[in-house]
Amino acid sequence: MEAAQPLHVLYLIAIIAEAMTAALAAGRREMDWVGVCLLGCVTALGGGSVRDLLLGRYPLSWVEHPSYLLITGGAALATIAIARHMHHLRRVFLFLDAVGLVVFTVIGCNLAAGLGMPVVVVIASGMITGCVGGVLRDILCADIPLLFRAELYATASVVTGGLYVAGQRAGLPHDAVMAAAMVIGLGLRLLALRFGWRMPKFVYTDSLH
């Protein structure tokens, strides 16, 4: 999170957007207000928290900046008030959710690269930051994570992380690499949403366990 100013603004937009989409998921399951608030916090901050746990990086961001808990919990609660107008904003939210995915991914890559991690771990750190919040949301809703079936969601994260790493290794300017990786990853996700692009499915019907 100790990143340049524009990335930090994007981060705040991203955690608010993730908290609000999580609140809608909670509303679809008729959770109570406390559940809405908690699911919002976990979804918005869970990816970064799991990344920090796995990399052993303390304190976690919301321990260092408790305001993130208030912002995401507040955004989730505010969603209850404005939910009746939200279906008009459906496209806005899908867009903000895609922005959140690539912003989280670049922040995660950035952080692991700063710790001197190898390339594969840098990309994994980006994916974990970008995708695990949504996985936790789906687990808490007792669903199979959408990630495993959605339109190029994890793929957009991997592409973003891969471009970040490639740009860094090519010695290109850091901020330009971050911006380009985010724009291309975002474009891929938005095109996938627009045209329904999906990864091929693996269908296996034997009963082996």
Q: Which residues bind a copy of itself (CB under 8 A)?
A: 21, 23-36, 38-39, 49, 53-56, 58-60, 62-63, 66-67, 69-70, 80, 83, 86-87, 90, 93-94, 117-121, 124, 135, 139-149, 154-155, 158, 198-206, 208-209
CB of 177 to a copy of itself, least distance (A): 21
- Please name the residues in contact with 152: beta carbons below 8 A apart, sequence gap of 6 or more: 188, 189, 192, 197, 198, 199
In whole angstroms, give the CA distance from residue 194 to residue 179.
22
Residue 56 C-beta: closest distance to a copy of itself, Å: 4
| Structure tokens belonging to residue 205 | 């019907």
- CB crowding 24-44: b at 16 or more within 10 Å, else e: bbbbeeebeeebbbbbbbbbb
In one-letter notation, the amino acid at residue 104 is F
Nearest distance from C-beta of residue 176 to a copy of itself, angstroms = 26
Q: Which is nearer to a copy of itself, 7 or 17 (CB)?
A: 17
Q: First and final CA of the chain: distance in angstroms?
A: 42
Name which of 7 and 124 has its Cβ closer to a copy of itself: 124
Contact 102, 130 (CB under 8 A): yes
Q: Which residue number, 58 or 195, has a Cβ lying nearer to a copy of itself? A: 58
User: In the complex, what is the shortest distance from the CB of residue 150 to a copy of itself, in angstroms, rounded to a whole number?
Assistant: 8
* Nearer Cβ to a copy of itself (27/179): 27
Nearer to a copy of itself, 7 or 101 (CB): 101
